[in-house]
Each structure stands twice: as structure tokens, then as C-alpha cells.
Amino acid sequence: MSQAEQHTIWRVVFPSSNVGLDESFRIAAAPIYGSGHAVTTAAGTDTAVDDANVAAADTTSSAADNTTLHDWIVSRTMLEIPAGHVYSTGSYYNAFPAAYWAQWTNVQNVALRMQVRGNATVTVHQSDSHARDRIVSTVPVSSSATPQTVEATISIAGMRAGGWLWFDVAANDTDSVTLADAVWLSAAPENRTLTASLAITTMNKPEWCIRQFNLLANMADMSLIDAIYVVDQGSDLVTEHDGYAEAKNRLGDKLRIIRQGNVGGSGGFARGMYEVERHNESGYALLLDDDTVLEPESISRAIAFANHCIKPTLVGGNMLFLSEPTRLCALAEVFNRTRVFWTPAEGTPKFDDLAARPFLDSTYLHKRVDADYNAWWMCLIPVEAIRKIGLSYPFFIKNDDVEYGVRAQQAGFRTVTVPGVCLWHQSFVDKDDILDWQAYFHVRNKIIMGLLYSRLPWGGDLFREMLRASMSAAIKMRYSAVTLHQMAVNDVLQGAEHIGDILESRLPQIRAAREAEPDTRMEPLNELPDTLLVKDTKTAGEALSGMGAMLHQLVPPRRDVRNVVDGYVEPQKAYWKVDDTRAGLAASVPLDGSAEGIQSTLDSLDMVAHDSTEHWRVMGHMDSAIFVNKDKGTGVLLRRRPFIAALRLAKVAFLYGRLAFRWRKYQSAYRKAFATMVSPEWWQRYFAGPVD
């Protein structure tokens, strides 16, 4: 592979400068960029570096902590490795995901090139789909005065099933070593040479947008970005926020702000797609959430991958948590047609901490995983696909990204979620959106997805899933959610045109209906009951019994449920007090003060649910509970009301039955109206306001 023919497809970068929120964030994120450790022999004694002991290096001992790793960073592309230490790019962000390139692009051979100054050994590794490691190249370096160019060429043609490439740089025991400008190159010609325009949808989060603008100006390759469309659907406007004028000055005419009414994420992204396609400046529309922190190099990586794809492809990025910068939301996600639900791909965990174990020990990372769609926190969509399949469906929120990926797949456009293309987003772990005002959209849009895409009679398991969701909400004493489920099914029954007509008006009605319910009224924790009914060991053990939880719903509630509660509940966890010697008595357990203080009190209790899937079993044994918002120091008193539960469940079950009875008719009607409702002409009724 001659040097003149090569071009960069993947840069090795480090979290320097202003990537992320602040210095502490970058320190916490360091492990996804690489790992460091002292060089040891197989016997465990420190020694000078040579080929033999590099191969036998113990990568689990003497590991550098995050602060130490971050201290090695000199600049965005330069690292200084202390004497007697190894830095490895075997990590989520800086390893090269060869399997994905081998499967979906025309790249079958890659070259690694870097600059190394000092006495060191560079070792290039290759894994397979079983996370088995082999060394493919070892290059000694002796260049104390000037940097030496190190190169290695590797075939990836046989890596379609899985595997990554990465390298280690080991410094000898007397001098530090500088690593700089490491890149993976290809001589394969690009199948297309396209650039992108960004489309960001925002509502009342101007400070997040300003941060993103500055990050792009500082760190992104702006030659790849033609425009940044920001669809502002809020009242706290981006253009009126401190810092906007400076960001506008830096980004110039590329930054374009659009104001329109609040038609949700689907409406905002539809407008962004529309503007990118209409202006015809770019080959891709890159959709981005507003409340994210982008790893700017991900834009270059996504575009390089898309340009090399054999067929036009939607390229997705992973989400990591802002609160835990090494925790991955999901490696890839698929659409389950039987359940009409999105889920992590088989064999991959949810919310995995990438820093919890060495790179090779995360076996699931090394098998290529295929996605059906990519969430719109970051998704690169070919304009060619937009022209062929249209804009987003008017879901308002929830399922719009899933639907678009499934639609694209049916039209012949693959979605590939590429590891090492990512951003950070607020965590989903502590959210309660299945039971808050968004419950309406979860239910309504899931039913519509079944109507549009299920190939099974009556949507397969759809109605069982829906009824179970309503029963779960009732058992959790969230009767407001069951009311929203009724509203959702009622709207579906009124037809596809009705769904489009209420796009802008339904949210205020949903909020009003929900706020009328007592299970939504947040109050200061110190104004709510702080007395817990003590359980015995047997009762606590029965909390995991689903049948016991259901039977308890038939028993009248205790008389003191307003003043003595059974436990405390969070979005993912539930607590109560267990003590056989005091069972049946009341204990004062006040929650007030800071989030840390509240958590300390909760930790003193017995945790009986570790995630939301266990909630219904535990709460089914409760007559009342306090739902806790630690960050705000507020809570909601939840009380079991069997009559209301039975009445509302009967109503929603009746509506599910009506829809099931006429399933084929509604399926035909929704599918017939679909093409019209994703067209630019249909959406223009909601598109207002010029592009600034």
C-alpha cells in the first residue's frame, strides 16, 4: 500500500482541551480511550522492555488510575508514556472496530501509522469474535532525538464475524516515550465523497446548544460540516442566550437557527431533514440531540465509514452516560416484531460499564453486532434515503427513530451502529418516563408501530404487552398512567389523520389530565409521611411473588395508609424496613436534606427491587409508598385504590378489545395513510419561520 494512495479513516485521539464537560469529566472518561500499566514480566518483576516481556506483560497489574492516565495526555493526538510503562489503545474508543469495516465497507486492508520518539516497542494486536488476542506486528523503536514513523499493514478481510485492531506502546525503564498522530489508513477508494449537515432539535435547552456549538468550533473537522441547523421549538431561545453571538461569529453562516411550534422531536428532526435535503449542500443529515456532549472525532469517523460503505448506509453512534462517562447505554439495538418493542441486540448487555474490566474480558464487544435502527441522539442519514423514504413519522416523541430505521431497512438501507462513534447523554437509568406524561406516547406509538410493521395477527404479543403495561402501572399505584393509556388508545382508534391533526395540541391536554391526578403531585419530602410499617422476613421474601402481589390487590387497604407507608420508591429501586422483632410496628425514617443525605437514609433500609422490572411485584404488596426524587428533595404519596384501579383497567381493556376486534381494518388504514404523513408536503403545515 503506497503512502500516496492512503487516506485516514480512523484517528486515535485523547480527551484533551474542552472535550466533555470539565476536567473531572475527562479524567473519568479516560479509560474508554485506553489503558496504562507498569511493564512487568510474567514473574511479576519490573524490567526493561523487550519483545519477549511485552508479549508476556501482565495487563491487569499496576494499572494506572484515571487521573494518572489523563496526566499522560499532552494534546488531542499526543501522549507521553512514563518510563517503564505501557499505554494500550485496546479500548472502546481508540481501538479500530475492524469487523464492522470488513463487513460493510470496501476496506479490506488497513495500515497503522504513528510517530514515536524514545526507546520503545510497538505491538499491534488483533482479536476475533471470541475475544481471542494475537499479536500481528512487533516494531522496536530507538529514536530519542526525533520522532520515528512506525507503520504496520494488516488484512481485515477475514474479520467480518468480529474482532478489533489496536496497539500498545511500551517505554523502556529509563526514558519516557512520546506517541503522536496515530491513524488507521486505507488505500481503498471512497465509494462516495460526501459531507454532512447537522440537524439539532431543541426545546428550552439553550445552554446545551451553545456548549455544542463551541465544541464543534474548537474540535470538529468543520470541512466535513456544511451547515448546522438548529430547530428551536421552545420559549427560552438559543438566539437570546449568553454566548450565542460569539458562537455565531465562530461558526458563521454554517450556523442556522429555525423557530417553529413545538411538534416534538419527530417534528424537529423532520424539519432538520427537510432543510438538509432542500438546500442540497450535503450528502448526509446528521441528527443530534440537544442535551448531549459530542465526541467531535465521531463525526469524522461516521462520515468516513459511510463514504466507504458498499451501499448507502445509516451510520449510528453509541450513547454513554454523562453521569458515568464510561457506561454504555447499548452496543446496538434491534426491533422485536413479536413484542413490537426495541431492545438491545441479543448477547449484549444494557448499561455496561466499559471500565469495569479489561478490553478483552468484555467478550460481547468483539463479536460484530448488527442493528435494526439507531437512536437519534446521533444518527447519520444519507440524503438519498430521505428522498426515497421521506421524513420522520409524526409520533411527537418516542419510536420515531425506531420507525425510521425499520422503514429504511425495508427500503434497502442498512443501519450500522459503529463502536467508537459516540457521544454522552443524560442517563436513562434514573428516568421514569414510562409512568410520567410520556406514558401516553409510549403506548400510542407502540400500537402504531404494530399497525405499521407487525406481520402477525393482532400484532403478535402486542396486546398482551399493552395490557401488562397498564396492569403494572395500576399495581404501582400510578393511576394517572392508566388514564393516559386510555387517551392513547382512544386517539389510535380515531385514525391516522387524527394523529397528525393533534401533533401540536395533544401535549397540553395530556399534561392537564395527568396533573389532575393525586399520584403526580410532588411535595417537599419533609411534608410527606416519614413513618414506615416494619415488615417481617416472610413478607419481604414474598415480595418477589407475582401471584402474591396480584392477590393483594383484592384486599382492602389499611386504614392508616395516608400516615404510615410501606416503603420508598425510586425509578429503579424500592426500599422498605425488615425487622422480625418489630414487624407490624411503625418506624420513623425521615427523608430530607441533600441528595447524598437522602441516599444515605435509603441505604439504611432494605432494598427489595433493584430495577423497574421488579417494581410491580414489590409494590403489589404495598398499600402506600413515597416516590422519591432525590435531586429535587421532593416526593409523591402513592396510595392503593382498588376501585379506581379496577375501573380504569376495565376501561382500557375495553379499548384494547375494540382495537383488536378491528385490527386488520386499522392496519390497512394506517398503512394507506403512511406515505402521505411522512412526505415533505404533509409536514409543511407545521413548518413555519425562516432560517436565520
Give the pLDDT means over successive 10-residue stretches in the chain (692 positions): 77 86 91 92 44 40 81 96 97 98 98 97 98 97 91 97 98 95 98 98 97 94 98 97 96 97 97 98 97 96 98 98 96 94 95 96 98 98 98 97 98 98 87 88 97 93 94 96 98 97 96 96 95 90 80 91 95 92 92 91 93 87 95 95 96 97 97 98 86 64
Helix (H) or strand (E) holding 122: strand 109-127
- CA trace torsion 415, 420, 423, 426 (10° rounding): 90
Residue 552 CA to residue 616 CA, distance in Å, equals 12
Helix (H) or strand (E) holding 646: helix 642-661
Residue 256 CA to residue 265 CA, distance in Å, equals 18
* CA torsion through residues 259, 260, 262, 263, sign: negative
What pLDDT does residue 441 have?
98
Residue 436 CA to residue 433 CA, distance in Å, equals 5
What pLDDT does residue 55 have?
38
Name residue, grid cell 459516540: 422
CB 255 within 8 A of CB 331: no
Choose among 572, 32, 612, 609: nearest CA to 353: 32
For the chain, the first-to-last Cα distance in angstroms comes to 47
User: 66 φ, ψ to 5°?
Assistant: -60, -40
- CA trace torsion 417, 419, 424, 430 (10° rounding): 70
Q: Where are the beta strands (DSSP E) in 324-461?
A: 327-330, 333-336, 341-344, 350-353, 378-382, 414-425
User: How many other CB atoms are there within 10 angstroms of residue 589's CB atom?
Assistant: 21
- The C-alpha cell at 184 is 488507521
3-state secondary structure of 500: helix
What pLDDT does residue 48 have?
40
- The C-alpha cell at 40 is 512487568
C-alpha to C-alpha distances, 320 to 99, 324, 433, nearest whole angstrom: 21, 8, 19
3-state secondary structure of 654: helix
What pLDDT does residue 3 have?
52
3-state secondary structure of 58: coil
Residue 387 CA to residue 411 CA, distance in Å, equals 12
Pairing between strand 177-186 and 7-11? antiparallel
What pLDDT does residue 665 have?
97
What pLDDT does residue 62 have?
58
CB 151 within 8 A of CB 115: no
User: How many other CB atoms are there within 10 angstroms of residue 370's CB atom?
Assistant: 14
C-alpha to C-alpha distances, 253 to 228, 243, 286, 559, nearest whole angstrom: 9, 16, 18, 66
- CA trace torsion 402, 404, 409, 415 (10° rounding): -70
What pLDDT does residue 16 have?
79
CB 519 within 8 A of CB 569: no
275, amino acid identity? E
> DSSP secondary-structure letter at 190?
P
Residue 298 CA to residue 15 CA, distance in Å, equals 12
- The C-alpha cell at 331 is 452496543
* CA torsion through residues 253, 259, 265, 268, sign: negative
Q: Which residues, 6 or more positions from 517, have their beta carbon under 8 angstroms from its beta carbon?
A: 479, 480, 483
What pLDDT does residue 42 have?
45
- Which runs of consecutive H residues, i.e. helices, occur in 33-164? 51-55, 66-71, 98-104
Angle at the Cα of 15 (from 373 to 90), degrees rounded to 5?
70
CB 419 within 8 A of CB 352: no
Q: Which residues, 6 or more positions from 111, have their beta carbon under 8 angstroms from its beta carbon?
A: 1, 6, 151, 152, 153, 154, 184, 185, 186, 187
CB 58 within 8 A of CB 64: no
CB 539 within 8 A of CB 579: no
> DSSP secondary-structure letter at 556?
P
- The C-alpha cell at 561 is 395508609
Name the pTM for this structure. 0.94
Angle between helices 663-677 and 439-453 (to 10 degrees): 100
- Report the b/e string of 279-297 with b at 16+ CB within 10 A: eeebbbbbbbbbbbbbbbb
User: How many other CB atoms are there within 10 angstroms of residue 647's CB atom?
Assistant: 13
Residue 72 CA to residue 26 CA, distance in Å, equals 12
What pLDDT does residue 58 have?
42
Helices (H) and strands (E) in the chain, counts: 23, 30
- The C-alpha cell at 194 is 460526501
Angle between helices 479-493 and 439-453 (to 10 degrees): 40
